[in-house]
Amino acid sequence: MEHEETYLLMMDALDGELAETQTVELEAHLRACPSCLQEWQALLAVHTLLQQTPALSPAVDFAQRTLAHLPNRRMRIWTLTAIYALLLLGGILPIALGIVLAFVLRPVLSEPTILGSIGQSIGQALQVMGTIAAALLAGLGEMIVQQPAIVGWLLVLLGIISIWGGVSRQLIFQTNPRQIS
């Protein structure tokens, strides 16, 4: 008899689900195998200890105290609203300042020579940025050709990040029906 089969028989014997033939089989193996006998005696000791241990129950107000320590849903909603409002204002404020500056600097910007030089500067800046972007893309292409495993690892990392992002979002924004709002 294999030791794995003996271990399964031991588990069934502890649960009281062993047939008579299996009991005889187990006892014969335990007499022949000292290591299995030692394992059986350890299992019996743990089983007896667990049966004698009284069941513990939580304190009467455990659920109420635990719920009281959870973050308040209303506070979380107000905090998120404030953060979104700040982000909205942070996005609108630069646009508003740009419009105000455009009106203030309108007389200066209406000069044709200034507009020509600004346009030329913007064109040169765009040309430099295009050259930089082309060089970066060429370097990235070379890296992908030379080290394709890096791309695979990056895709794996992105997958892991997106999965754990979804898991954390579900845990953070999980609604509890017993929680009082």
Q: Tell me the per-residue pLDDT of 116-159, one tens digit each, with 9 for 90 and over.
A: 888 899 999 999 999 999 999 999 888 888 888 888 888 899 98
pLDDT average, residue stretch 19-36: 89
Question: 56 or 154: which carries more pLDDT confidence?
Answer: 154
Q: Tell me the per-residue pLDDT of 154-163, one tens digit each, with 9 for 90 and over.
A: 889 998 888 8
> Residue 80's pLDDT is what?
82
Question: DSSP secondary-structure letter at 2?
Answer: -
- The mean-pLDDT minimum among 42-56, 58-72, 134-148 falls in 58-72
Which pair of tokens denotes residue 97? Answer: 């300042």
The average confidence (pLDDT) of the chain is 83
Q: For the chain, state the CA radius of gyration.
A: 36
pLDDT tier, 181 (very low <50, low <70, confident <90, very high otherwise): very low
- What length does the chain have? 181
Indicate yes or no: pTM above 0.95.
Answer: no
Q: Tell me the per-residue pLDDT of 88-120, one tens digit each, with 9 for 90 and over.
A: 778 887 888 888 888 888 777 777 787 788 889
DSSP state letters, 115-142: HHHHHHHHHHHHHHHHHHHHHHHHHHHH
User: What b/e readout covers 36-75, taking b as 16+ CB neighbours within 10 angstroms?
Assistant: beebbeeeeeeeeeeeeeeeeeeeeeeeeeeeeeeeeeee
Question: 102 or 68: which carries more pLDDT confidence?
Answer: 102
Torsion 113-114-120-123 (CA) sign: negative
In terms of Cβ atoms closer than 10 Å to its own Cβ (0-12, 13-18, 19+), residue 177 is exposed
pLDDT tier, 83 (very low <50, low <70, confident <90, very high otherwise): confident
> Residue 175's pLDDT is what?
58
